[in-house]
């Protein structure tokens, strides 16, 4: 079956953010559109806080069918949306938007993508009762929210952000969270590896939600107390550049089950694709597309 030719009826989707040239979303989405012979195309637009207002107004007038949003516009675009789904309402940040008959609906697929990636690695179907999150930024909120919504009762957050605006933002997030999930206990501790030890002993999931380790920069793999961590814990890193961070590489040396940032990217991509098309695609197939793209461009 031949691929559709881009024409006047082709539905357009886009990712908005800055920087944007490194994004893998166009690779994933266009590959799936082509495989399913769908008359759709996915583009990348540079959008930042200086131009996103004009861009959102223009894209809505142009009737784009869906967006992926990345830094730094995940929170700024909220005022252009007509409604938010449950996770996005709690987190107050979106990374997926659906245009349904001109109505813009916001989702946070990082949130469910995180949980689905963890469950894919949880091959023994162990109960997840305690999650330890490193960081308190945007992705940390997504991870904490989804863990609570999935019934995790105990969540520990180690906050590396000391600026007042970040602390206030996280506290407001927690207020919204407990309104939705009243029986979750979220504890915030300082960024001090010695303070982590007691909680790591019985954590079922440890998630790095910071940029520590991106492009090989950072000391998390040096300071993290692997020896004190529950040996059955799943170790997750949101970073996918490099694919295997030093944090995850060392965790594997200690025998931990690990989840890569690429797994998060794939699972949130699967969720976004389903939101737009109603079609379930295989995470394994999306992952294969990305790996082949990397190999071709090495």
| Residues with active-site annotation | 74
- Sequence-separated (6 or more) residues with CB below 8 Å from residue 52: 16, 73, 76, 77
**Residue 165 token pair:** 């605006």
In the chain the beta strands, taken as DSSP E runs, fall at 11-17, 40-46, 66-69, 83-84, 96-100, 103-107, 130-134, 154-159, 185-190, 205-208, 234-237, 257-259
Token duo for residue 207 = 């998630």
To which H or E segment does residue 257 belong? strand 257-259
Sign of CA dihedral 198, 204, 210, 212: positive
Phi and psi angles of residue 47, each rounded to the nearest 5 degrees, phi first: -135, 130
Q: From the CB of residue 20, how many other CB atoms can be counted at a distance below 10 Å?
A: 18
CA 216 to chain centre: 20
Angle 134-136-137 from CA coordinates, rounded to 5°: 115
């Amino acid at each position: 079956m031949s691929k559709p030719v881009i024409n006047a009826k082709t539905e357009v989707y886009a990712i908005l953010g800055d920087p944007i040239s490194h994004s893998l979303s166009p690779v994933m989405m266009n590959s799936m559109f082509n495989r399913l012979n769908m008359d759709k195309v996915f583009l990348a637009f540079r959008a930042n806080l200086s131009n996103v207002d004009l861009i959102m107004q223009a894209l809505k007038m142009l009737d784009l069918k869906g967006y992926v949003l990345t830094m730094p516009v995940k929170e700024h675009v909220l005022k252009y949306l007509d409604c938010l789904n449950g996770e996005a309402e709690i987190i107050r940040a979106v990374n997926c938007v659906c245009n349904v008959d001109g109505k813009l609906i916001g989702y946070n697929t990082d949130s469910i993508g995180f949980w689905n990636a963890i469950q894919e690695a949880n091959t023994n179907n162990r109960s997840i009762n305690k999650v330890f999150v490193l960081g308190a930024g945007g992705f940390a909120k997504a991870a904490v929210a989804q863990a609570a919504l999935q019934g995790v009762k105990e969540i520990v957050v180690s906050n590396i952000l000391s600026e007042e605006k970040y602390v206030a933002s996280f506290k407001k997030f927690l207020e919204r969270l407990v309104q939705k999930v009243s029986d979750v206990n979220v504890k915030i501790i300082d960024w001090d590896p010695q303070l982590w030890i007691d909680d790591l002993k019985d954590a079922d999931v440890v998630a790095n939600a910071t940029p520590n380790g991106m492009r090989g920069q950072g000391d998390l793999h040096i300071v993290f107390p692997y020896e004190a961590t529950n040996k059955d814990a799943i170790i997750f890193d949101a970073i996918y550049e490099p694919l295997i961070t030093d944090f995850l590489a060392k965790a594997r040396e200690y025998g931990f089950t690990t989840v890569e940032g690429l797994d998060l990217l794939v699972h949130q991509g699967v969720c976004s694709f389903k939101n737009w098309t109603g079609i379930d695609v295989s995470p394994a197939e999306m992952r294969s597309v990305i790996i082949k793209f990397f190999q071709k461009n090495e």
